[in-house]
Amino acid sequence: MIPLDVHVIRDEIPVPRPDLPIEGRATRTDSYPVAIVTGTDATADRLTALAPQGRMAIVTDETVAALHVRPLVEALDRRGITSTVKAIPPGEGSKALATAVGLLDDLAHSSVGRRDLLVACGGGVVLDTAGWVASAYMRGIPYANVPTTLLGAVDAAIGGKVAVDHTVAKNLIGAFYQPVGVVSNIEYLTTLPGRQIRAGLAEVIKKGMIASPELFTAIETDLEAILAQDTGALDRLVRSASATKCALVARDPYENDLRRPLNFGHTVGHAVETVTGYGPVLHGEAVAFGMAVAARISLSRGWISPGVCDRLVTLLHRTGLPHAIGQLGAEVDPDAVVAALGKIRLIRAGRLRFVLPLDVGTVAIADDVGDEEIHRALHAPVPTGLAR
């Protein structure tokens, strides 16, 4: 006799008729809370709620480890959570297969199992690398993002795009793998160098420009307090920007549509990063310049009013972000940028997509922008009144 408490599974899957197609199916809906908090205790509370087994493996970088991780581990310990910490060297160089393999080795030799939580605590480099490791280890273990840079909080932590770089291309080896939660502790952002705040702000200005006039105006109003790293202003900024990013990615979470407003500023931005070798110009700085170039292309087509174009460039300027080629932190040859764009055009069957702003909150996607137009916009001088 089988005891009553034994779970019995009975099934009758039919053998299909030979003429019928066989279809593999896997649907799932992922949703996760994005919490914006202030302080280590609040961060530990949120993380504890995401780790039912009471165990975590924290991945961070050495800079963040020295600044913030010990108090977090202690706060988790007080809540009965056992955690291990692995710190990778800071910088884009760590976003590599070799780092990921090292982390996978560590996990393999640890007691971390399928239901334990991997916590990615750091900037975009840590979030992308640890997220990809989480997607691969045991075919995917739960992970939570604890961003410590502004770019991390408003961008990399949300959307489930995880990857490491390859020498052939950035983000070449990756996946879509959603976190079980995001905990943004505003306090962490107060130790960031000003340049990192400004670079992160470029991605928020982008979100305002493509999708939220309200967010754009809020940045204009709060800018001085944000740049002074006032926690109240940063809290408002991260809250609005996170909500905007969530709304935008929810529309097309797996990026089936190539006409993505979120790419605003990124066509020229990526080309600038390529020609400068991903180092001297930060991603946000390249995107800021890319947004100014796209706005000028739009202006020359008569698609955007001079007033709106000025409004964007003025905000970039006030933020201390580059909006003219001579302001990039490296010598950039416009011909090299156009050549890099030409390569992308070739790869994409002759089409180069530009997100062109029409107004604050409205964009158009154009695939007919020519080299001449790009050249003119790249060469545009710094507007009078905005010389630094």
Ligand X SMILES: NC(=O)c1ccc[n+]([C@@H]2O[C@H](COP(=O)([O-])OP(=O)(O)OC[C@H]3O[C@@H](n4cnc5c(N)ncnc54)[C@H](O)[C@@H]3O)[C@@H](O)[C@H]2O)c1
- Residue closer to ligand X by CB (options 63, 82) is 63
283 is catalytic: yes
Least CB distance from residue 166 to ligand X, whole Å?
Answer: 13
Indicate if 139 belongs to the active site.
Answer: yes
Stretch that binds ligand X, among 91-99, 345-353, 356-364, 368-376 (CB under 6 A): 91-99
214 is catalytic: no
Taking the complex as a whole, the smallest distance from the CB of residue 293 to ligand X amounts, in Å, to: 19
* Minimum distance of ligand X from residue 92's CB (angstroms): 6
Restricting to residues 294-323, name those near ligand X by CB under 6 A.
none
Residue 203's nearest CA partner among 326, 288, 143 is 288
Q: Is 128 exposed, middle or buried (0-12, 13-18, 19+ CB in 10 A)?
A: buried
CA angle, 186 then 188 then 194, to 5°: 95
**Residue 318 to residue 203: CA distance in whole angstroms:** 15
382 binds ligand X (CB under 6 A): no
Q: Which two tokens stand for residue 92?
A: 């884009």
Q: In this chain, which stretch among 2-10, 58-66, 224-232, 313-321 interacts with ligand X, using CB under 6 A?
A: 58-66
Rounded to 5°, the CA angle 145-150-153 comes to: 25
End-to-end CA distance of the chain: 86
Judge whether 266 counts as a catalytic residue: yes
Stretch that binds ligand X, among 72-80, 120-128, 214-222, 227-235 (CB under 6 A): 120-128
Task: Give the x-and-dash track for 167-206 against ligand X (CB under 6 A).
Answer: ----x----------------x--xx---x----------
Q: Please identify, among the stretches 110-118, 121-129, 342-350, 360-368, the one whose residues bind ligand X according to the rule CB under 6 A.
A: 121-129
Query: Residue 352 in contact with residue 358, Cβ under 8 Å?
Result: no
Kindly state the DSSP code that residue 165 receives in the 8-state scheme.
B
Helix (H) or strand (E) holding 163: strand 161-164
Q: Which residue is nearest to ligand X (CB)?
A: 124
How many residues line the site for ligand X (CB under 6 A)?
A: 28
CA distance 199 to 110: 37
Using rule CB under 6 A, residue 290 touches ligand X: no
Whether 270 is catalytic:
yes
- Strand-pairing partners, residue 229, are none
Distances in Å between the alpha carbon of 333 and those of 288, 296, 297, 337, 353?
17, 18, 18, 7, 21
| Cβ neighbours around 277 below 10 Å, total | 9
159 lies in the binding site for ligand X (CB under 6 A): yes
Residues 92 and 61: beta-carbon distance below 8 Å: no
Residue 123 lies near ligand X (rule: CB under 6 A)? yes
Pairing of strands 117-122, 55-61: parallel
Q: Segment near ligand X (CB under 6 A), from 88-96, 103-111, 252-260, 341-349?
A: 88-96
Q: Is there binding between residue 128 and ligand X (CB under 6 A)?
A: yes
Q: Output 154 or 378, the one with its CB closest to ligand X.
A: 154
Q: Which one, of 72, 159, 154, 162, lies nearest residue 125 by Cα? A: 162
- 122 versus 208: smaller Cβ distance to ligand X: 122
Burial of 168 (0-12, 13-18, 19+ CB in 10 A): exposed
The β-bridge partners of 354 are 366
Residue of 46, 55, 86, 95 that binds ligand X (CB under 6 A):
95
Residue 151 interacts with ligand X (CB under 6 A): yes or no:
yes
Residue 33 binds ligand X, judged by CB under 6 A? no
Q: Which residues are catalytic?
A: 139, 161, 203, 245, 255, 259, 263, 266, 270, 283
Binding site for ligand X (CB under 6 A): 61, 63-64, 67, 90-92, 95, 122-126, 128, 148-149, 151-152, 155-156, 159, 161, 171, 188, 191-192, 196, 283
